[in-house]
Amino acid sequence: MPNHATRPHIVVLGDFEQALHRLGDWRAIEAAAEITFHHQPVQGGDLVAAAEQADAVVLVRDRTPLDAATIARLPKLRYVVFTGSRNATLDLACLAARGIPVSHTDWGPSKESTSELTWALILAATRQLAEYGSLMQQGQWRFSTPQPLSGVLHGEVLGLVGLGEIGRRVAQIGKAFGMEILTWSPNMTAERAAAHGAQAVSIETLLARAKVVSLHLVPSLATRQLINAERLAQMRPDSLLVNTSRSALVDMPALAQALRDGRIGMAALDVFEQEPLPVDDPLRHTPRLLLTPHLGFVVEPVFERFARGVVTCLEAWLADQPLVNCLSS
């Protein structure tokens, strides 16, 4: 419960988009508490310095790891809220041991938005939109030297590694484009694949046949760095690898080398081992690689839901009312 002798201090971490305050009605919270928003990433000592006086911490997704060592250095912490319904970098057991309750928000249409971004990347890479857009900005119309032209997806093979809620949506659009859909995951069955218009095959067959390989798995011990040097070598030399899921599914140095060597045609990535991607990361200068800054769930309707959820959770906590969407207490 908040201490009414002094105004509680609430710290919001990871709001890179500066969206939570804009999209939520914070007036009641601002009247009862001090609030600090952090729009740049903070970790390590900077994270402790930012949150050590916090009575409550708000986390946007899993952008700011809150492990046991960090929690131990936050002596005033009494409440945590995170956006979405899961957070892989939050030590729930440690918080529970200290009796610190944790709440979360609803999601909004994040699966739909991630599916749409997947296809935005597939289409942009296939039609070379970034390259042609750059030419236009430079006052040009076509490349000055002969270059391979854009491809067509109709009649090609779409390989989906994972056929969950997002993978199924991606499959539906692929079928609309007239693509053959192949799928693989550790527990895939022929019946489940067929129910969504796909054919279950081995990972080797999928990689060998697919023009577009799109990843839609949550990493596990069995799938971590699933796409490694050996599997990249199994892919078509004109293939496109798309990852809007988790960076842990891909051996990033091996992918960069495969692109530099021309062993695959192109890749499009929305997720990275370290986010934001460091300015000096070699991926920024890897050829035939389309990069976006983890935009899969970053859309107005999702952040509207996040903002409303955070405000609702904090208002209940500040008013000593039953906590909302509480995971532990």
> Which sequence positions are flagged as catalytic?
246, 275, 294
> How many CB atoms neighbour CB 116 within 10 A?
17
Nearest to 310 by CA among 103, 35, 2, 30: 103
**DSSP conformation class of 149:** P
**DSSP conformation class of 54:** -
**Could you give the CA distance from residue 57 to residue 46 in angstroms, rounded to a whole number?**
15
Transcribe 191-237 into DSSP letters: HHHHHTT-EE--HHHHHHH-SEEEE-----TTTTT-B-HHHHTTS-T
Edge-to-edge strand order for the sheet containing 199-200? 199-200, 180-184, 157-161, 212-215, 240-243, 266-269, 289-291
255 contact partners, CB below 8 Å, separation of at least 6: 227, 232, 241, 267
